[in-house]
Amino acid sequence: MSKATIPVKKKKKPKNYYFTQTTENAIIRYNKSDDPRLRNKIYNDHINYAFDKLAENIIHTFKFYYFDVPPSTVKLDVVSFLVMNMHKFQEGKGKAFSYFSIVAKNYLILHNNGNYKKYKIHDKIERLDFKRNISSEASAMEGDEVNTEFVIQMVEYWDNNLTNIFQKPRDIKIADSVIELFRRKESIDNFNKKALYILIREMTGYTTQHITRVVNVMKKYHTHLFRSYLNSNQIDTRDTGSFLFEE
């Protein structure tokens, strides 16, 4: 007789035990109270630990490491920002965990990238001090000027033509979010592609599949617009309608 095989139990993935429904209920009670002492007790007993762990996890998960201060200070800054925005959370409009995760990530994206840019500039200066190439430095500066002016004109083009190229409300919202990132270029142009997709997904609420479809259409226009800019140093930003045919 063959021996009966004993089924192996799969280990369950750890659940989020630090930010629970109890935490959300406490945030709702905190926002409804006008008593400073009661709010302080609610925060210390039910919210502080959850905010602290949320900030810590997001910093390490998305690798927000470009800061001039220790990680503990960054975490405190994030928690302070969450507290400042606690009154904006509305009961019944989504989960508190999702809302405050987005608030924390957006705060870190803006501040992380500003510091990353300064870090890269400092790094370039250090390398140029040892082996300086005036010609390449001048070309890089000219390239930055070209890119900046192109982005200004490109954003103006999309502002005038967005609803000509995209008709579905979903596509318009996604495309407008992409353009908004270009408007905030100084803060986010060094951030990685995956994080930008996450940010657009959180701004719109749509899936990566829908975002990719819209971005692919916008890429076709980007190529045409940039070629036009290189030829004449100018983009026709008027309400010109769609000049490409979608497949």
CA distances from 172 to 87, 102, 200, 217 (A): 30, 22, 13, 12
- Looking at residue 52, its pLDDT comes to 93
For residue 15 the two structure tokens come to 């659940």
Higher per-residue pLDDT: 62 or 123: 62
* d(C-alpha 218, C-alpha 48), whole Å: 43
Check whether 29 has a pLDDT greater than 90: yes
* d(C-alpha 121, C-alpha 132), whole Å: 14
Check whether 211 has a pLDDT greater than 50: yes
The rounded percent of the chain whose pLDDT value lies above 90 is 17
* d(C-alpha 242, C-alpha 247), whole Å: 13
pLDDT tens digits for range 179-209? 887 776 655 544 556 667 777 777 778 888 8
